[in-house]
A and B are shown apart, each in its own frame.
Chain A
Amino acid sequence: MNHHPTMNPTTARTAAQSHFRTLRLDTPFQPRIDALARTQDWYNWAGYRAPHSLWDEELEYFAIRSQAALFDISPMTKYRIEGPDAEAFLNRVTLRDVTKLKPGRVHYTAWCDDEGFVLDDGTLFRLSPTRFRLCSQERHLPWLLDSAIGFGVSIEEETEAVAGLALQGPTSFAVLRDAGFAGVEKLKIFDLAEFPHDGDTITISRTGFTGDLGYELFVPTEKALSLWDRLMTAGELRGIRAIGYTALNRARLEAGLIVANADFTTAGHAIRADRLRMPDEIGLGFMIDVEKGHFNGRRAILEARTKRKLRHVLVGLEIEGNIPAEHAIVYHKRSQEVGLVSAAMWSPMAKRNIAIASLARPFGDTMVEDLWVEIYAMRELQYQKLMKRAKVVQRPFIKLDRRTANPPADF
């Protein structure tokens, strides 16, 4: 017997039309997040109402670094890519060698248009030999479908069907184990596995955006709330806290990770031709596998490398003092403008003033001496203009052993 009355077509259409009344969608976790939202500090994440903070952005950051922080990643764009040619297709489309990505593994990758300009970066989950999930900031369905012509592969956008949570921080493993996810201790960094949950199956990967010990959980939308409750209950004694984006953004900067359309402009959105970036220009050159055969943008990328047409470089900076240099201009010899800081903060973990910046080569590449940033610090309606020395440093800015320790530490 069918317990769900079937909607007649007109009713279904009316329901679908009514989205204009809710410009910011709720994620499947919204009832729980709303209950915790003391600051009511929201932003628009790809059409969803997402929290900047929930109760205190600074303390939320410390929850990541000291306990376990739960962050809703449901608005992230997700594509299900499946078929006998899925591996070959993704190998053609993305920069890294997908044949080296074994089932049960995840890698961070990026993809380019035919001119070799980065369309986006994201994570590729290999769920089985023939099934993948691609997670990204921007939307790429037309490009994926067009690229799939000639491949035995189906591509489906599943952003709304799959909810996601990031559980990050030193006690995240303990929370998952206490929640009863047997075998989760076996996950090494970038491993993924399926686990039973509430009569369904969820995917847990040892991945994250914090540079800390952490996991990401993908769950069918209908089972989202029960997963949230399961984690919160198990985490109670481990200091679990829900957090908003501001805290996560600090953690990712310490981890030296970049954000599309914050640290670089994606090719799908760049209106000004000089804003386009090749992987080598935003620190993603390491992904390029020139030996693996053809992939989108390969020819242009190789030509730019051989003809030295790469014009920019993305670097980590350590800046003297403690005033964050957000969106400061970078100078050579205090006078020649050579770049821009895209993200900056005082790092509590490194006790340093750190930043990510894009510089015009050769600055930041072969010329790394005598770099300065001009910080306009607004203090009580006056700019305090500071010229501070900047040093190019390796990313990540912090390296935590617990991120990769096996077995994961039990805090």
Chain B
Amino acid sequence: MKAWDAIVIGGGHNGLVNACYLQRAGLDVLVVEKNDWVGGAATSRELTPGFLYSNCSYVCSLFRPEIMRDLELPRFGLQVISYEGGAVFTRDGDYLANYRDHDAHRREFARFSKRDAEAYDRYARDVTRQCRFIQPLLMRTAPDPTSLRPRDIGELLYLGKKFAGLSAEEMALTLRFWTMSISDFLDEYFETDVIKANFALSGIIGTALGPMSPGTAYVLLHHYMGEVDGSVGAWGYARGGMGAVTKALAASFKASGGTIRTGAEVDHVLVKRGKAKGVVLAGGEEIYGKLVVSNADVKRTFLKLVEEKELPDIFLRRVRNFKIRGSSGKVNIALDSLPEFPALPKDSPVYRGDMHFTDSMERMERAYDDWKAGRWSADPFLDMVIPTTLDPTMAPPGKHFMSCFVQYAPPKVNGHDWTDADRDGFAESVIAQIAEYSPGFRDRIVHMEVRTPREIEAEVGLTEGNIFQGELTFDQLLFNRPVPGYAQYRSPLSGLYMCGSSTHPGGGVMGAPGRNAAAEILRDLAKSTSHMSPAHDVI
């Protein structure tokens, strides 16, 4: 019976990144994916003829350029196109736009507040400083602060030195930044509600917290530390939808000799004498591997794929308590023409950016209140993009694909599982909100896919549909991600590794967890990592 050098459970972006690096190190790697396609939450699917849907993740910034280069992803078709800005529509028929041009951006803010317009530079400076602190940590394994191994001590010293390199003021700001609410953080710079709402959205996306919850300032940072070709903080569309990322990864993997089996759902990890020996598929087929890497989230991996008796109690308890709460959904729409927003000039670049309708911090927090009460938000927060304004490959000319990320959607509705009727009600709250700002919107809809946490968990496998495989709060970051003592991609079981977004540095289509996990695995195998670029310098 063949034993693979490594079996990767799940063909999401991190699983594929991990598999690519292992295969390129000379290992014989098999990726098993339960769906009939790869991609996990980074997919492009033709759900109605002629339209490609980025039906889960929908924009790209965090994916590390070092990985794109190492794995030759441009050669396999990956292109990322920066988009143009965006806007928050206001209830009085106006909007607040974000423009790429620095001075246009200032003038736009000045329409609402001259003071806030001039406060933006200081805000941008402070956020940039924080990004520069965290960026170099993304592509390094977090040190174990309880370990006395020279490597951990070295990494701790690196972290300490970086921290000590900050001024007293920056140090205080960093500690506050990592723990405070996005609302409190923005209050230090801005006075205008719509301007605060405009920035706060990055602090709550994918998170079961409201803008007034402590910890949300860091979530904003997580959305700012990416880049599009060196332009830090910029976001773009993957040409061909987010599936272009995983399509390129899969092609790169196969080109280097890797094997992918789709339609192969893992039932459990084969464990013998405390060591992972392979996987057992849902049909009972056993596949042997010298090691197993799970791209699934930490709960799915250790509460579903591994028998509890194989794991230490404290580890299990922490995994159970790991916060990976469902908070969002997706409404993906095929449109037969570009929607019109009367508030927006027809030639506005905002059509080519991200659009929002939540124009106050209070509305955002109220939307969260609904989540706490176990309901989807009656007045939801939307992050809406129309990638086809820049990407001609996703819909026929003149027709459009629209992606609406929707918050908040609870994992259960009033304590019961989502029903189809709930799903339709959730979709209606979204369509009604858009239609309020875009008359005739309903008539343009050709096809629509609605994904509540139920659908996302069922298809993608993310527990509760949590897009980050676990919330990005300070207690679940760095050497505490996913749980203390197991932040270095290894698990209590010998031969079983984690490579998903549940691990450092967390979620978003970043690829860093998959890459870092590969580096640890290769270290354990005493293999070279010379094919892995170190993080680009932050100078």
Q: Is the CB of B169 within 8 A of A140?
A: no
Within 8 Å of chain A (Cβ to Cβ): is B167?
yes
A10 to B95, CA, bound (A): 13
Within 8 Å of chain A (Cβ to Cβ): is B101?
yes
Within 8 Å of chain A (Cβ to Cβ): is B348?
yes
Q: Is the CB of A269 within 8 A of B125?
A: yes
Across the interface, B348 reaches (CB within 8 A) one of A16, A20, A24, A140, namely A20
Q: Is the CB of A141 within 8 A of B170?
A: no
Within 8 Å of chain A (Cβ to Cβ): is B106?
yes
Within 8 Å of chain B (Cβ to Cβ): is A46?
yes
Across the interface, B345 reaches (CB within 8 A) one of A18, A23, A139, A271, namely A18
Within 8 Å of chain A (Cβ to Cβ): is B349?
yes
Across the interface, B121 reaches (CB within 8 A) one of A13, A19, A139, namely A139
Within 8 Å of chain B (Cβ to Cβ): is A44?
yes
Q: Give chain B nearest CB distance to A193 CB in angstroms.
A: 30
Q: Is the CB of A141 within 8 A of B115?
A: yes
Known contacts A115-B169, A145-B115; A20/B121 CB under 8 A? no
Within 8 Å of chain A (Cβ to Cβ): is B99?
yes
Q: Give chain B nearest CB distance to A119 CB in angstroms.
A: 10
Q: Is the CB of B118 within 8 A of A47?
A: no
Known contacts A269-B121, A273-B166; A17/B129 CB under 8 A? no
Within 8 Å of chain A (Cβ to Cβ): is B2?
no
Known contacts A19-B104, A23-B101, A268-B121; A273/B114 CB under 8 A? no
Within 8 Å of chain A (Cβ to Cβ): is B103?
yes
Interface residues of A in 201-240 (CB under 8 A from B): none
Within 8 Å of chain B (Cβ to Cβ): is A308?
no
Chain B residues closer than 8 Å to A145, beta-carbon distance:
115
Q: Is the CB of B345 within 8 A of A142?
A: no
Within 8 Å of chain A (Cβ to Cβ): is B317?
no
Interface residues of A in 1-25 (CB under 8 A from B): 10, 13-14, 16-21, 23-25
Q: Give chain A nearest CB distance to B95 CB in angstroms.
A: 8
Q: Which residue of A lies closest to B131 (CB)?
A: A271
Q: Give chain B nearest CB distance to A158 CB in angstroms.
A: 11
Q: Which residue of A lies closest to B348 (CB)?
A: A20
Chain A residues closer than 8 Å to B121, beta-carbon distance:
138-139, 268-269
Q: Is the CB of B108 within 8 A of A20?
A: yes
Within 8 Å of chain A (Cβ to Cβ): is B111?
yes
Within 8 Å of chain B (Cβ to Cβ): is A157?
yes
Across the interface, B104 reaches (CB within 8 A) one of A10, A23, A46, namely A23
Chain A residues closer than 8 Å to B116, beta-carbon distance:
142
Within 8 Å of chain A (Cβ to Cβ): is B537?
no
Interface residues of A in 266-289 (CB under 8 A from B): 268-271, 273
Q: Give chain B nearest CB distance to A134 CB in angstroms.
A: 13
A102 to B117, CA, bound (A): 33
Across the interface, B170 reaches (CB within 8 A) one of A18, A46, A273, namely A273
Chain A residues closer than 8 Å to B125, beta-carbon distance:
268-271
Q: Which residue of B lies closest to A115 (CB)?
A: B169
Chain A residues closer than 8 Å to B348, beta-carbon distance:
20
Within 8 Å of chain A (Cβ to Cβ): is B132?
yes
Chain B residues closer than 8 Å to A157, beta-carbon distance:
114, 118
Binding site for A on B (CB under 8 A): 93-95, 97, 99, 101-104, 106-108, 111, 114-119, 121-122, 125, 128-129, 132, 165-167, 169-170, 189, 345, 347-349
**15 A-B contacts (beta carbon < 8 Å):** A17-B345, A19-B104, A19-B107, A21-B347, A24-B103, A44-B103, A46-B103, A138-B121, A139-B118, A141-B114, A141-B119, A142-B115, A142-B119, A142-B189, A268-B125
The list of the 3 closest CB pairs from A to B, nearest first, reads A47-B103, A141-B118, A139-B118
